[in-house]
Amino acid sequence: MTTVIHPQVITAVRRAAVRATLAPSIHNSQPWRFVVSGDALEIHIDPSRQLRVLDPRGHQVALSCGCALFSARAAMAACGLRAKVRRFPMGSGSTLAAVISVVSGAGPDTELAALDAVVEAGRTIRPAWRGEAVPPQLVSVLVDAASHEGAQLTTIAHLETRLAIARLPLPADRSRRTERIYGTGPQTWMSEELPQAGGAPPAADSDERTSAECLLLLSTAQDDPTSWLRAGESLQRILLEIARAGYAASPLAQVIELPQTNALLCAELGPRAYPNALLLVGSAVSAPQLRRRRLVDMLTQVG
């Protein structure tokens, strides 16, 4: 017996895929492909978009796909649908990161639906900070958002740790621009991530980011691809809450992947917690939208 899928459901699933393409990713690499099949959406990892030197484990790629997954969930909720998610259904070694399907007869998650409205407002490039303190109420909202997705968000308050984090990534920030390390493809993605408009942030060569801005560390209880994917969902939920509140965020991906700073963050967290993302949050001037890949290169619709 053939199941008839309502055209509005198919339209909603396709819209979810399109909204997912707007998610943030490591150096704007957009390491994903989407397949729409009836009432289901598949999110695939695109290995050709992985930065092998910066992200040898594929950790940042999984985080990026998790961000896209959360955006798709929010989009489906905004269309009045509730989604069921299977994460790495073919195993953690597969490039099939997730399958999202519609749950019939179930109402949408209204909290998720509200976040879909700010998907296009989120910015994760390096902004020019205004130096205004982040309200404690917003930090509480972000901690709850992380918990909602099964992760933990911790404020890095120790001055010594903040200074060490501020200083250690700088050599990597400079070396990542060299073609010798990254090659021509990723170099193009990173130039898309860092538009020239507005110039470099004041904190790029100073310790200004240890003052007014809030430094937040996202962690999970496990360190495996499924946990990375879920951490990406949590990260996107946090980023959308930040955008909804009118603030900006700058993920410091290299701090997570560099051994010396990763060890520093692990010491900050304690045992049985693994760092996944470090966010600098504050008030910033508006930034231009990043360039996106062509939809035809990311999205396939079958059936």
- Residue 68: what pLDDT? 98
Residue 113 clears pLDDT 90, i.e. is over it: yes
Cβ contacts of 172 within 8 Å, gap of 6 or more: 254, 258
Mean pLDDT of the chain: 81
Q: pLDDT > 90: what percent of the chain?
A: 50
Using CA atoms, how far apart are residues 155 and 225, in angstroms rounded to an integer? Answer: 24
**Quick one: which of 212, 299, 248 has its CA closest to 125?**
248
Residue 1 clears pLDDT 70, i.e. is over it: no
Averaged pLDDT, 27-53:
93
- The region of weakest confidence among 24-33, 130-139, 183-192, 294-303 is 183-192
Query: How long, in residues, is the chain?
Result: 303
DSSP-assigned letters across all residues of 191-229: HHHS-STT-S-GGGGSSGGGSSSEEEEEEES--SHHHHH
- Residue 165: what pLDDT? 67
The domain limits of the chain are: 7-120+291-302, 136-282
- The region of weakest confidence among 43-57, 116-130, 141-155, 278-292 is 116-130
**pLDDT tens digits, residue range 164-207?**
666 654 444 443 433 333 333 444 444 333 322 222 333 333 34
More confident residue, 51 or 142: 142
136-282: CATH topology is NADH Oxidase (3.40.109)
Using CA atoms, how far apart are residues 299 and 211, in angstroms rounded to an integer? Answer: 42
- Residue 108: what pLDDT? 81
Averaged pLDDT, 124-132:
65
Q: What is the pTM of this model?
A: 0.84
- Residue 33: what pLDDT? 97
Residue 211 clears pLDDT 70, i.e. is over it: no
Averaged pLDDT, 114-130:
76
Question: Do residues 32 and 44 make contact, with C-beta atoms less than 8 angstroms apart?
Answer: yes
- Residue 121: what pLDDT? 75
In b/e form, how buried is each residue of 194-215, taking b as 16+ CB within 10 angstroms?
eeeeeeebebeeeeebbeebbb
More confident residue, 262 or 45: 45
Using CA atoms, how far apart are residues 227 and 233, in angstroms rounded to an integer? Answer: 10
- Residue 48: what pLDDT? 92
- Residue 13: what pLDDT? 95
Question: Do residues 119 and 75 make contact, with C-beta atoms less than 8 angstroms apart?
Answer: yes
**pLDDT tens digits, residue range 237-269?**
999 999 999 999 988 887 788 777 788 788 878
